[in-house]
Amino acid sequence: MELTALADIKPFKSEWRIQVKVLHTWKHYTKLSGETLEIILSDAHGTKILASCKKTYFEKFAKKVPVGMWRNIENFSINGPGVSYRPTNHQYKINFIYGTDITPSTLQNDSMFLSLVDFQTIQQGVEDENILIDVIGEVTDLGSLDTVLCYGKERKKIEFSLTDLQGRRIACCLWGKFAESIHANCKAVGGDTVICLLRFVKVGTYRDEVQISNSYDASQIFFNPPIMESEAFLKRDVASNALTLVESEQDKLEREIRRDKWMQYPIRDIAELLSSTQIEQCRVIATIYAIDKDWGWYYFGCKVCNKKVNKISTKVQIVKGNEITTHLWWCEKCDDKVTKVLPKFRIHAWVKDGTGEAYLMLLDWIAVGVIPETAAALLNGSFEELQDIESFPEAVTDLVGKTFMFGIYIESNNVASKGGMYKVGKVWKDPSMLLTGGSTTELWTHSDVGTSNLSGSHANENTVVTPSSKRKQQSNEGEPDISSTTKKQCARVFVKKEKTTKENSSSKKSG
């Protein structure tokens, strides 16, 4: 059977023979199709097409399509490519069938068959945002690696910019393993230049700014790839580079603020917070002056859904001379017994500014942004409930006397009671963030909280146990829904910070 170019295959028959290079593979799951192996192929002309293999044929075909190898593929069906986030612009898609035959090819070509889109085109608007693209640039403005709660699951996230040779910037946001990869790579090289090639990524808009992000596992990421485009970045004149990439700290801060959805919400003092008459979000700058120890400082959450679990039993066995302890828990959300749980923070705190006092709750993915250790580290492997409320770790009690800006959810119960417990959606501890943004400076001018607290210094109050009057006020509220802040929306919240290379070199960036 003669070879046919990918541009010429049509769906009217299945007897085709193509010679292609495997560019990328990943597993994908949908309720309609189940689990599939997705494969991006390119022929020698650079025409790319997506191929799909059902789980039924994994054993037969999966090992025959290693990334980077050329293959001859015969007999396959051809269908429409779908609508959203297509990894190629081909009008059709290949599906492996029972009679598909895959054999090695003698063709050798190391090309990556890139389809790079320049930054100017991206900024002006790509022709079809549903088609994934390739981009390359120097990594700049690298933010912190954060953990956010999205649809009940914790995910890693990082924001940064890619800068081209002309100094144009494109905002980027990567998730999951891609976020961890760029964070680790940039940290490893210190202050050296990092050229990042992103393949099969999507173009979108976030807060009126064009943004690049990965399309689940369909995307790829490469650092300093051995291609001509990378060499152009690395060879450019150092002086010219300095002039092109120079940017003030104020410019960087303003860009971070634009990217942060919480910055669209107004800044309120505590008096305004307590008198709010509508369900909304706002930001409040205040000092923690007491921790409510009655609620403890941690709970155990299911690894699957993150909801609070309750211990059913503890079993101790001797296995090969070693004592093995197994805990069994009940998860209401999963409606099942579970053994895999994680300790998570749940901090109830009283805060104040010059206008009043408020009662806040910080759950795990928020608290880890201001507590230097994780709950698991503080418990040192223990899966026992708190036995003594006076045994709070210093990492928690040290919050007393420190000033932060809190992103707060005002919910229906808060409006009805003109107070109560407010749930926190984000915490800022960076002084530059506290002092930036319109009425923020004015708020500090009229507050009785000293500006020395902006650097996290301790106030005069060292009280940790909640005053009895405050404890009585909260006694009728009951235990909060541990994950209720996620019911309204997928939380895009920077909560778990890991230092970036720039932070290690004393260059401050906001979270």
Q: Which CATH architecture has domain 119-260?
A: Beta Barrel (2.40)
- As a whole number of angstroms, the distance between CA 175 and CA 177 comes to 7
Region 9-35: what's the mean pLDDT?
94
For the chain, percent of residues with pLDDT exceeding 90: 54
Region 465-485: what's the mean pLDDT?
45
- As a whole number of angstroms, the distance between CA 221 and CA 201 comes to 9
* pLDDT value for 88: 95
Region 237-266: what's the mean pLDDT?
61
Q: Is the pLDDT of residue 29 over 50?
A: yes
CA 198 to each of CA 106, 147, 195, 250, 343: distance values in angstroms, whole numbers, following the listed order: 29, 22, 10, 28, 36
* pLDDT value for 483: 41
Residues in the chain: 511
* pLDDT value for 167: 87
**347 CB-near residues (< 8 Å, 6+ apart):** 291, 297, 361, 362, 367, 371, 396, 399
- As a whole number of angstroms, the distance between CA 452 and CA 357 comes to 20
Region 259-263: what's the mean pLDDT?
75
Q: Is the pLDDT of residue 243 over 80?
A: no
Which residue would you say has higher pLDDT here, 354 or 237? 354
Tens-place pLDDT, residues 55-76? 999 999 999 999 999 999 999 9
User: What pLDDT band is residue 300 in, cutting at 50, 70 and 90?
Assistant: very high
Fold classification of 265-302+343-487 (topology level): OB fold (Dihydrolipoamide Acetyltransferase, E2P) (2.40.50)
Domain residue ranges in the chain: 6-104, 119-260, 265-302+343-487
Which residue would you say has higher pLDDT here, 473 or 27? 27
Region 99-114: what's the mean pLDDT?
95
Query: Are 6-104 and 265-302+343-487 the same fold in CATH?
Result: yes
Average of per-residue pLDDT values in the chain = 82
The tokens for 212 are: 């690049």
For the chain, percent of residues with pLDDT exceeding 70: 79
Most confident of 39-48, 307-316, 326-335, 368-377: 39-48
Question: What is the model's pTM?
Answer: 0.60
Fold classification of 6-104 (topology level): OB fold (Dihydrolipoamide Acetyltransferase, E2P) (2.40.50)
Secondary structure class of 54 (helix, strand, coil): strand
Region 451-455: what's the mean pLDDT?
32
Region 38-51: what's the mean pLDDT?
97
Region 401-411: what's the mean pLDDT?
94
What order do you get walking across the sheet with 48-54 strand by strand? 77-79, 93-95, 48-54, 34-42, 17-30, 70-74, 101-104
Task: Let me know: does 101 contact 15? Beta carbons within 8 Å.
Answer: no
Q: Is the pLDDT of residue 456 over 70?
A: no
Region 224-239: what's the mean pLDDT?
77
User: Phi and psi at residue 123, in whole multiples of 5°?
Assistant: -65, -35
Q: Is the pLDDT of residue 445 over 80?
A: no
* pLDDT value for 244: 45
* pLDDT value for 68: 95
CA terminus-to-terminus distance, the chain: 58
Neighbouring CB atoms inside 10 A of 236's CB total: 14
By CB neighbour count within 10 A (0-12 exposed, 13-18 middle, 19+ buried), where does 140 fall?
Answer: middle
Q: Is the pLDDT of residue 475 over 70?
A: no
